[in-house]
A and B are shown apart, each in its own frame.
Chain A
Amino acid sequence: MAVFNLKKREIECKIVFYGPGRCGKTTNLEYIFRAYKKQVEGEMVSINTEGDRTLFFDFLPMELGKIKGCDVRVQLFTVPGQVHYSSTRKLVLRGVDGIVFVADSLDVRREKNMQSLKDLQQNLKDYGLNIFKIPLVLQYNKRDLANTGMPIMSLEKMEKDLNRQLKAASLPASAVTGEGIGKTLQESLKLTLQSLQKQFNWAQK
């Protein structure tokens, strides 16, 4: 939930990385943590269970500096992707300003991607939010696996599966190599701040 302090010209927003279990949400945040050290405000907190699965959430606070005369801070979260953590997932989503949906490019995760997107839509709806209107970026992760001969889906197929109706911004990435991760974050921030500008008109004219 964005927090504005117009007197001090501060703005804080929340971006949530959503997606099926094991798609690479935590790896996204870990990469951002390493690659954007300067902008990271403090530590990354990960609450995991057995096998490095996220149990509650990952949390990474960032300080982006001045944007249009405002000090912008952003809190990055990941949700636990595994199906049976649905109530935690919903709780973490609360107050979200922007979403990165991380989809798994592996063939075998095709249905899980779709189910997770549907779950996202339902949870947003429960909070009175609309998946078509919320700032949303789709990330097709694990593209590096293409070089290893592992069966992965083509980008076209993923677009068709996940983005035919949504028509959200989408991009390929690999959280392991870091390719596309910075771009994903930038795109999400851009959309989120634009949307907050529309709603709250915070930028200096």
Chain B
Amino acid sequence: MSKKIKSLLQQAKLYRSQGLMGEAEKKYKLVEELIKESDQLPNKQKLLNGLSKKIDSLNKEVKAIESAPTTPEMSEHVNELIKKLFSFSSKEKNESETALEGAIALAKFGQFEGALEEFGKLLKVKSQKFSAAKNILRCHLEMGDIESATDQMEKWEKDNMFSSDQLEKITVFFDDIVDKKGLRKELAVSKEPEEKVASEDELENGEEFLDISAVAISFDSGPYKGEQIELDVSFQSGNVISLIISSKDEALIENMKVDARLDDVHFYSPVAIFRGAGIVSAMTQIKSGPKKGDYSLDIKIESL
């Protein structure tokens, strides 16, 4: 008995020293039970007291771990490294594209101040300023700073930084995040979200299409009302992505029609998740091969 307890305590100690807190706690709890059940053990209460001290201090450690900040601000040096290591534009791509990717990486690692600085520089580069602007808003909003974001937008408008087309897209982008983050109530004057109408040429302002790996479509009517369906992207060509719908998923097939507009789609890309809209541009049943009978669905991304 005491041998077993000893071995369990040793295990708990090792797990704890390795940071395996859950495992350590389980062993302590097991020991606790064993002690409680036993009739032969001398000074039971003392043992239990000692044990509950151990468990307490373990829990303290767990709390410290859990409450540690997940995105602490890093040193300049680390930020430089992150930019360098996580911008993947190939060498043929131009400097500013690489810079944009680096800045996005910073934001992804929660280094918003550093990222804002970089995006700020990119506002001056014509080919990047549109993306930079959106990312600036994203950073402010990630930090919960709506005011800076709205100030920025007002300033851009006043300075005629963007075409009215672009400005509208930027506003839609902003509204979208505000809604998603539930920040709407903090906006002093809440604006009606504007109708998103993306025309062909809007999508051609030098933006590259991100690789989309999966989408999640939300429905506000039909059999999937209120639900979100996730589908993997099997193929992508520019702003058109292809998905496979299993022949078994009759309800979904019923619900999809060419030209149907999908107003709320999450596009999962390697860098981030984007919310936007799409239009079903083709839907065909696969006639042969392993996916025979399934449907191939093309969605044209309208706005990201």
Contact = CB atoms under 8 A, between A and B. Distances in A.
Contact of B11 (A45, A87, A150): A150
A50 B85 contact: no
A55 interface: yes
Interface in A1-46: 1, 3, 21-22, 45
Contacts of B52: none
A45 B81 CA distance: 9
A56 B109 contact: yes
A88 B65 contact: no
B189 interface: no
Interface string A116-142: 000000000011100000000000000
Counting contact residues on chain B (CB < 8 A from A), the size range is: 20 to 34
A97 B173 CA distance: 35
B81 A50 contact: no
A126 B213 contact: yes
B229 to A, nearest CB: 18
B108 interface: yes
B68 A50 contact: yes
Nearest to A49: B68
Interface in B1-30: 7, 10-11, 14-15, 18-20, 23, 26
Nearest to B105: A91
Given A59-B81, A91-B105, A126 B270 contact: yes
A47 B78 contact: yes
Contacts of B65: 49-51, 53
Interface string A43-86: 00101011111011001000000000000000100000000010
A108 B70 CA distance: 26
A140 B142 CA distance: 40
A54 to B, nearest CB: 11
3 closest cross-chain pairs (CB), A and B: A50-B68, A126-B213, A108-B23
13 contacts: A1-B88, A45-B78, A51-B64, A59-B85, A85-B70, A94-B88, A94-B270, A108-B15, A109-B20, A126-B213, A127-B270, A149-B7, A150-B11
Interface of B: 7, 10-11, 14-15, 18-20, 23, 26, 61, 64-65, 68-70, 72, 74, 78, 81-82, 85-86, 88, 91, 105, 108-109, 213-214, 268, 270
